[in-house]
Structures are given as C-alpha cells and as structure tokens.
Amino acid sequence: MTELSAHLPQFQHGQLTENFPETHISNTNDNSERRRHDNSERRRNDNAESETNGQPQNNVQQVVEQDEEEDEELTLKYGAKHVIMLFVPVTLCMVVVVATIKSVSFYTRKDGQLIYTPFTEETETVGQRALNSILNAAIMISVIIVMTILLVVLYKYRCYKVIHGWLIISSLLLLFFFSFIYLGEVFKTYNVAMDYITVALMIWNFGVVGMICIHWKGPLRLQQAYLIMISALMALVFIKYLPEWTAWLILAVISVYDLVAVLCPKGPLRMLVETAQERNETLFPALIYSSTMIWLVNMAEEDPEAQRKSKSSTYDKQAPASRTRNENAEADDGGFSQEWQQQRDNRIGPIESTPESRAAVQALPSNSQTSEDPEERGVKLGLGDFIFYSVLVGKASATASGDWNTTLACFVAILIGLCLTLLLLAIFKKALPALPISITFGLVFYFATDNLVQPFMDQLAFHQFYI
C-alpha cells in the first residue's frame, strides 16, 4: 500500500512522469510475483494506462478541434479577403461604365435595337409597351438558354476546338471592333482630332495584347484589367441597345435563371461544373475573372500533393492542415469558385458570330514556379456577373431621375449583395450563382430610391434641410 501511495503522487503530477509508470508497469508485469502485488499493479496499470491513453486522446482531440477551428477561421479569413479582392474589380468596372455613360452621350442615344429584341417600346399604350418588353425579354432569355445548353453540349462531347474558336472570335470582336467604336465616341465627345493611322496603331496594339493576355499568358494585373475593360464594353453595348423596360425585365429574369441554372441538379451550369470536375480540368479558358492564377495548375496535375511538395521551398509557411483542406476544396471544384454563364453576354452585336471571350485563368503548368501561394487561392467570378452589375448601375445612372443618389444606392446594394454571396460561398463551398442576391438588392434599391427617396431628398435639399 505504501508503494501505491508512493506512486500516486507521481501520477497526479501528470505528464512529466509519463514514462515512469509505463516502465514501472512493464517491469512489474514481467515480474508477476504475488497476487496482491499483481492486483495492485494492475490497478496502477489501469490507472497509468488510462492516464497515458487519456492524454494522447486529449491531444488528438485537441488537434482535431484545432484543425476544425483553423479551417473555419481560415474560411472566414479567406472569405473576408476575397470579398475585398472582388470589390475592387467590380467597383472599377462600374466606375468605368458610369463615367462613360455620364460623359459620352452615344451610349444613351436611342439608335435602334438589336435583332434579339425586335419589339419596340415606343408604343402608344402602356399595355402594349409592357407586352412588347415581356416578349423581348422572353426572346433574349431563350437565346441565352439555347446558347448555354449548346455550350454545355459542346463541352460534354469534348468539342474543345469549336469552343475555343467561338471564344477567340468573340474576343476578337470585343477587343477590336467594340473598342474602336468606344474610342471613336470618346474622341467625338471631347472633340479630339485624330488620324486613322494612329487609331489603327492603338487599336491594333490594344487588341493584340488583349488577345495574348486573355487567351495565353500575361501578367495577372494586365489580364484582370483587360477583363474589366471588356466587361465594361459589353455592359455599355447592353445599356445602349436594350430599351428601358426590357432591360429591367431581363435583369430580373436573368437572376432567376442564374439561380435555377446553377443550383438545380439538371441545370446546364451545374452540369458544366460537374463535368469539369470529373475531368479534373479548368472550367474554361475564358469568361471567368479570377483574382489569382495558381490553383488551376494543381487541378490539372495528377498528384497535386507531390506537385505542391516539389515547390514547397516557396510555400513553406503552409500548415499541413490547410494543405489537405486545399486539396479537398479543390476536388470540390476549388472551393471559392463561382461559375457563370458565358453566352448570354455575347449574343449581341451586328455580326452573327458570337462574341464570347473574356478569359480568365489558363492552366499554365510552366507558370507553377512563379505562381503564388496556393493558400492565396482567390475567388473566381464570372464575367457575366460583372457585366450585369455594370448594366444595372449604368442604367441607373443613365435613366434615373435621382441621378447620383440612385446610382450610389444601387452601387452599395450590389456590393452588399456580393458580400452576402461570398459569405454564402464560404459557408457552402460550392459553386453559387452570383447574380440573384445582388441584382435583387440592386433592383429594389433602384426602384425605391428613384420613386420614393428622390422626391424626399429633393425637397430636403431644396430647403437645405439635413437629416
């Protein structure tokens, strides 16, 4: 008994004496002399084992909990960072669009409509106008749906060449033709005299660098800048050629379609995402804005773990937990990616060839050495989202009676919607539609601000009252 009591304090002293009971137990187990001794040893044995086992268990549990906590914490941290990373390009795009609308009158002049919206809105009765706009929206949406399904079918049957060709033709159109028109209009607005040779040189350089940057390799910032510019150009085209009610209706219906297409099991976009995941390839060599360049490299590799380990010299600071999480997340379609539709943005244009492209991230295995930390994976946002956000804000600035107030309100609403969407993305970790929440907020705020807030603020400002 005295032996027992002598050992107990050591047990109670805990970890430091871990080894002692074990060796002691092994020794005493080997010498099973007397039963009393055996029993006491066994009891001590049990105590010791429970103690020593308990500690590793606790350790394991703690490690697991810490991992989970770290995961959640990393998720939230990433979420916040990604929100900021997406705020800047969305804001830039909107700023460009609003600035152009305010200064260049070309984009607010009614110069006819596209063939996709054949019904005019200059009708006599309100009912007729409503009907026309509904028909226009229906035609446009069906065009978009058809194009999306076509794209998905092409992708499924591995007609990559066709898709590539389509995207290249669209980016050609956007980069050369639309920017030429844009440049011309800006010159006209500011009454700048310019000769054709200089213009040809400028447009040629702009276009070629854009094609290279978007479809091949280029500095990340330049690529992002080009994507923003073509989104803005596309949005401007929309704002110019879509009549009023049609535009609002299209925005509303598109967000519903977005929701359906991405979330329903049979939705085209969801099938696209899943097919890309199955084949373990990058989603598209175009049409997606990404804030960083790397992770696609890993997706395309056979053994991402080995790949990453090979470049571990640069990325030493990663914890193993986050690395495995990255892997899982990437198998899950890269955690923070959002897909968006491509065609809808494009079926506009005087020529029937479909202007598609904006390119985001290429799988560039050779770039793997220069790419950033896989932890800094970044979010991907479809260019269609950029375009429709800018269309909303641009229309608000073009046609609202409240002018800047309405524009600002829509801007804030869209950004908050984007925040919420990214939060949901961080929680659900799968592809989500980016349009619905933002566009809903934007539309609500647009109509509310234009009709309700504006008269109120006008009256207050007239008398110089402040609230």
Partner 1 sequence: AFFWLLSLLAASLLWFVSVQLSGREDAALLLLGAAAAVLLQELCRFACFKMLKKADEGLATLSEDGQSPISLQQMAYVSGLSFGIISGVFSIINILADSAGPGTVGIHGDSPYYFITSAFLTMALVLLHTFWGIIFFDACERRHAGGLGLVVGSHLLTSGLTFLNPWYEASLGPIFILTLCTGLWAFGTAGGSFRNVLKCLSCK
- Tell me whether residue 332 is one of the annotated catalytic residues: no
Q: State which residue, 300 or 424, has the beta carbon closest to partner 1.
A: 424
Q: Within 185-244, which residues bind partner 1 (CB under 8 A)?
A: none
Binding characters for partner 1, 74-93, by CB under 8 A (x = yes): --x-----------------
Is 404 a binding residue for partner 1 by CB under 8 A? The answer is: yes
Min dist. Cβ of residue 427 to partner 1 (A) = 12
For residue 195, give the H/E element and its range: none
- Position among 3, 69, 274, 332 found at the interface with partner 1 (CB under 8 A): 69
CA atoms within 13 A on the CB side of 102: 13
Is 72 a binding residue for partner 1 by CB under 8 A? The answer is: yes
Specify the stretch interacting with partner 1 by CB under 8 A; choose among 278-286, 318-326, 368-376, 456-464.
456-464
* Strands, E assignment, 337-428: 380-382
Min dist. Cβ of residue 75 to partner 1 (A) = 9
Q: How many CB atoms lie within 10 A of CB 84?
A: 11
Is 466 a binding residue for partner 1 by CB under 8 A? The answer is: yes
Gap between the Cα atoms of 144 and 269, Å rounded? 12
The residue type of 3 is E
Contact between residue 297 and residue 280 where contact means Cβ atoms under 8 Å apart: no
Is 126 a binding residue for partner 1 by CB under 8 A? The answer is: no
Q: State which residue, 343 or 421, has the beta carbon closest to partner 1.
A: 421
Q: State which residue, 49 or 71, has the beta carbon closest to partner 1.
A: 71
Q: State which residue, 349 or 402, has the beta carbon closest to partner 1.
A: 402
Contact between residue 388 and residue 294 where contact means Cβ atoms under 8 Å apart: no
- Position among 403, 424, 429, 440 found at the interface with partner 1 (CB under 8 A): 403
Contact between residue 96 and residue 102 where contact means Cβ atoms under 8 Å apart: no
Min dist. Cβ of residue 236 to partner 1 (A) = 21
Separation in Å, CA 254 to CA 76, 142, 257, 434: 29, 11, 5, 11
Q: Single out the residue of 171, 358, 340, 362 nearest to residue 272, CA to CA.
A: 340
Specify the stretch interacting with partner 1 by CB under 8 A; choose among 93-101, 234-242, 410-418, 424-432.
410-418
Number of residues in contact with partner 1, rule: CB under 8 A?
Answer: 29
Q: How many CB atoms lie within 10 A of CB 145?
A: 17
Q: Which two tokens stand for residue 79?
A: 């979420």
Q: Within 416-455, which residues bind partner 1 (CB under 8 A)?
A: 416, 445, 448-449, 451-453, 455
Q: State which residue, 229 or 443, has the beta carbon closest to partner 1.
A: 443
Tokens 């295995």, residue located? 365
Q: Which two tokens stand for residue 359?
A: 């390119």
Is 463 a binding residue for partner 1 by CB under 8 A? The answer is: yes
The residue type of 308 is R
Beta bridge mates, 288:
382
* Burial of 228: CB neighbours in 10 Å, binned 0-12, 13-18, 19+: buried
Is 405 a binding residue for partner 1 by CB under 8 A? The answer is: yes
Q: Within 270-329, which residues bind partner 1 (CB under 8 A)?
A: none
Catalytic residue among 67, 258, 332, 403: 258
Which residues of the chain form contacts with partner 1 (CB under 8 A)?
A: 69, 72-73, 76, 403-405, 408-409, 412-413, 416, 445, 448-449, 451-453, 455-457, 459-461, 463-467
The residues assigned a catalytic role are: 258, 385
